């Protein structure tokens, strides 16, 4: 079990905030992952190169982190099929919620978007209820 380290959490949050701010200033776009990814399938989007570069950067950063600091990136213990189905379910959820946690929680809240604040509060409440239900009814380590 990992322990919370406030310094690394603060540094990570600051880097995320800096990255999304620079992306917004440089490209005038919100750095919400579901929106960036979804735009790849939009035939009218004229910025597919930017989107692909952004997503490639996420994958490359994860691979570099895995090499440089392997214990920071947990290995998955589920099959590829389970991961793919879970990814599809998350994708449907982000469409229903008009964005993902990164778009709403990081970018939207910082812009004081009412919709994003409500969405983020909903994410947090749902997570809390899920943890409580799993602990109450079993099915997970506490």
pLDDT at 83: 83
Q: What gap in Å lies between CA 36 and CA 89, rounded to an integer? A: 17
pLDDT at 140: 58
pTM of the model: 0.70
Block mean pLDDT (10 aa), the chain, length 142: 79 90 90 85 87 92 87 74 86 81 84 91 92 84 53
Distances (CA, A) of 14 to 10, 60, 69, 106, 140: 6, 20, 19, 11, 32
Closest CA to 105 of 125, 87, 119, 91: 119
pLDDT at 101: 79
The structural domains of the chain, with segments of one domain joined by +, span: 6-137
pLDDT at 87: 83
pLDDT at 38: 84
Q: What gap in Å lies between CA 11 and CA 69, rounded to an integer? A: 16
Closest CA to 17 of 114, 107, 117: 107
pLDDT at 33: 85
């Amino acid at each position: 079990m990992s322990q919370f380290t406030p310094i690394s959490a603060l540094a990570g949050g600051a880097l995320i905030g800096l990255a999304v701010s620079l992306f917004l200033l440089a490209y005038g776009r919100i750095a919400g992952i579901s929106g960036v990814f979804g735009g790849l399938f939009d035939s009218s989007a004229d910025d597919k190169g930017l989107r692909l570069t952004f997503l490639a950067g996420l994958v490359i950063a994860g691979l570099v982190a895995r090499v440089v600091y392997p214990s920071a990136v947990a290995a998955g213990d589920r099959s590829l099929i389970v991961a793919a189905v879970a990814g599809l379910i998350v994708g449907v959820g982000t469409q229903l919620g008009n964005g993902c946690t990164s778009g709403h929680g990081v970018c939207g809240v910082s812009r004081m978007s009412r919709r994003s604040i409500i969405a983020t509060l909903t994410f947090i409440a749902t997570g809390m209820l899920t943890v409580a239900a799993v602990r109450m009814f079993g099915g997970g380590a506490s």
